[in-house]
Amino acid sequence: MSGGSDSAIIKYVKDVADSLGQVCAVIGAQWGDEGKGKLIDLLAGEFDVVARACGGANAGHTVIVNGKKHVFHLLPSGALHPNVQVVLGAGMVIDVSTLLEEIEVLKKAGVDILPRLHISAAAHIVTQEHKERDAKIEEERSNKIGTTKRGIGPAYGDKALRVGMRMESNLQSPISNCLVSNIAEFMNDLIKNKKRILIEGAQGVLLDIDHGTYPYVTSSSTTVMGALQGLGLPPKVLHSCIGVAKAYCTRVGEGPFAAEIQGDTANRIRERGGEYGATTGRPRRVGWLSIPDLQYAALLNGFTCWNITKLDVLDEEKMISVEVERGRLGEFPGWQTSTSGITSFEKLPQQAQSYIQFIEEKTGIPALWIGTGPDRRDMIVKSI
């Protein structure tokens, strides 16, 4: 793709969107914060519905459009598109006050989401007591998890204990105007009516409650199967699944991080990448890309392609390390020239092309989307 305007990339996205099929999922392949929001925002205009299935306000998705920053915690990033229906699935735990704040922020920005917002009656509610309990548990435990203290774990705990409160019991306006009594029926009716659905994953695969780095994980399923479960969709309807990974890696909170780096290199990458939590503001831990982690994420999700984000953050590095096997780092020469805003793969420095091709070779999955900057237009879309 060539050109550097919103209209140029949006036109190209239109040209390739059909290949993604009726139902496409976008899933984080690392520990979250991979940059899923930008791709969701780009793709959402080509779909009828954008849906979040699991997680809560511990997620933070950032979209920058024309220099203006939008941060979402509960609403999907695709909510900025005025003609797209928005769904919050049964697998979510919802802090109603946070949701109302996000609705109001969008309204002030000229985006009225209420008429097109659909919330599962079966989604659970996060209460103030959950948040207080979350903070207390984190303070008292010997092995700190590093939670966001947003009450997510206790809310899911009450759900598992069958003592939680669901959205069907919260009938206060204006949320009551958005409730859908059975999200599974609603979603499957969309399928029958040939509507296109874009599923927005939250957090990342390595934080999955079953398959992540337990106990340093979130409290929900972050894989594509968890997303389908949270929306009441059968696996057979999924046509494509895009795995999103940074060209390096970050992690918020405690837990293992084999390729983590310290010192000046970590600080440089953190500052260039703006690696501070969208939800908590905490500095993210920084490390190199891990091929085994990407292979594992692909195994669990069946990715059809990669979106490699923030390639430009590595522009200044003389040498770039990669965990090529568990416990073994390899080194690649850096390109030390700006890739910011490049929208054609062929125009990337040869070393940057080789880096992307190495990821493709080792995972067996093409990198069809490559982020080269923070704005919507800063994306390479390779031909399929």
Query: Which is nearest to 71 in space by CA: 379, 80, 373?
Result: 80
- 51 with 198: CB under 8 angstroms? yes
- 79 with 72: CB under 8 angstroms? yes
Tokens standing for 127?
A: 């209460």
CA distances from 279 to 108, 221, 235, 322 (A): 21, 19, 31, 28
CA distances from 124 to 230, 236, 324 (A): 12, 27, 41
Q: What one-letter code names the amino acid at 177?
A: N
Distance CA 41, CA 206 (A): 23
Distance CA 278, CA 274 (A): 10
- The residues, any chain, with a CB within 8 Å of residue 19's CB and separated by 6 or more, are 240, 384
The DSSP bridge pattern shows strands 240-246 and 197-200 to be unpaired
Measured from the Cβ of residue 345, the count of other Cβ atoms closer than 10 Å reads 18
C-alpha gyration radius of the chain: 20
Active-site amino acid positions: 33, 61
